[in-house]
Structure 1
């Protein structure tokens, strides 16, 4: 097995704790999956191949590599008849809905951030939406908080939520914890999530895989979806 992003940070003592407490079991896939793409927006990745500092929240090439995997998984999900959901994180240009987040970060009043109605807040056209996909706005890190997502999943009989997008340590992580709290089998697509800071990405993957989700390679997820499509 290839080294996972978090393996280099674990000591022998850490591994012993994991083994003794039996963390990290596989929950596996269910029969009714949905793909949930978190904040795959222009402000998160900027322009492909351009690193001019314009987008202050961009994850850059790391983000674009993940976006290509998101596109691959979205295609496989649609082919399998699985619903595809996209969240968009947007804020009022005047900051009226930023809430406590505004105490940790300045409101960036610029076109290349996540202000409502600006290019930065747009969903990446490389990903969709396509007919049948659902796009909704969220105002907090979790895709569940204050949104209709739970009702969408219940209505479609979903038992497995495959999470992609960014950022791993922020909105992906918050969404995964809520998905697990609602007792969905929760799958994090390893190469299809991204973050600005590598150590945040690695430790967040570890924390999710340890207790709340399965961190799974995209090849395995595609194989699962193709199996559903064929079955």
Structure 2
């Protein structure tokens, strides 16, 4: 994204934040006592070059940020869920496709189930034993999946969400997470998109209405602080 576009967006958001604050928006949902990490669509079709879903800032920003979060979750023995997307019936002419009507808008047939190399989680943040790998069919990681039940059974009250895209699957997951009763935290440096400006706009709007946008460092400090509090 160009500096000119970023400066224009930031100027617009400064005024928008003022207006929202006057109306009582931008409240804080805050961190709870039992977090889980939800990595959304950080699979090869989104993180590697050459696919319709390939996103920006993966190598230099998103993967390093997620690696830092994963380390914190793992050393504190907290739950991690890796979410990906694929389809058993990727034929757009088949009336019984599990793509639903989404293929009428975007090329979801690009991630068929028989191409696990595409929908496998990026090896740089590869799941380890004990971490969930969840396959979804729609934008939200909650829609039609066992995610909410798994989190509740694990005693989770807070979800830290990373991944792609800010304008679709990440946003929908955060909205549904809040609706299902979880404190929702969007990890700023760990969220990406394909379109310049989409991340800034969506993080601004999420922070105003659906969750708290926090930095990786703030989230890591929170995770390590839980261990310190438990020891005390």
Instruction: Quickly name the TM-score band, shorter chain normalised.
Output: 0.7 to 0.9
Q: Is the 8 A contact 1:5 1:202 kept in 2?
A: no
Residues 1:25 and 1:5: Cα distance change in structure 2 (over 3 Å) = farther
Give the one of 53, 58, 79 matched to 1:63. 58
The unaligned stretches of length 5 or more in structure 1 are 48-53
Distance 1:77 1:224 in 2: 11
Residues 1:31 and 1:6: Cα distance change in structure 2 (over 3 Å) = farther
TM-score (norm 2): 0.87
Residues 1:74 and 1:11: Cα distance change in structure 2 (over 3 Å) = closer
Aligned residue in 1 for 2:178: 180
Offset of 1:7 from its aligned partner? 2.7
Q: Is the 8 A contact 1:66 1:193 kept in 2?
A: yes
- Root-mean-square deviation over aligned CA pairs: 1.9
**What whole-Å deviation, never above 9, does each CA across 1:155-207 have from its counterpart, x for those lacking one?**
01101000011111110000000001112110000001111112221111111
Aligned residue in 1 for 2:137: 139
Q: Is the 8 A contact 1:77 1:83 kept in 2?
A: yes
Distance 1:200 1:75 in 2: 28
TM-score (norm 1): 0.87
Residues matched between the structures, number: 217
Distance 2:33 2:118 in 1: 36
Moved over 4 A (4+): 3-6
Aligned residue in 2 for 1:159: 157
**What whole-Å deviation, never above 9, does each CA across 1:65-123 have from its counterpart, x for those lacking one?**
20221111011011112100011111233342111111112455xxxx42213121111
The unaligned stretches of length 5 or more in structure 2 are 1-5
Matched, 1:101 2:96: no
Q: Is the 8 A contact 2:159 2:182 kept in 1?
A: yes
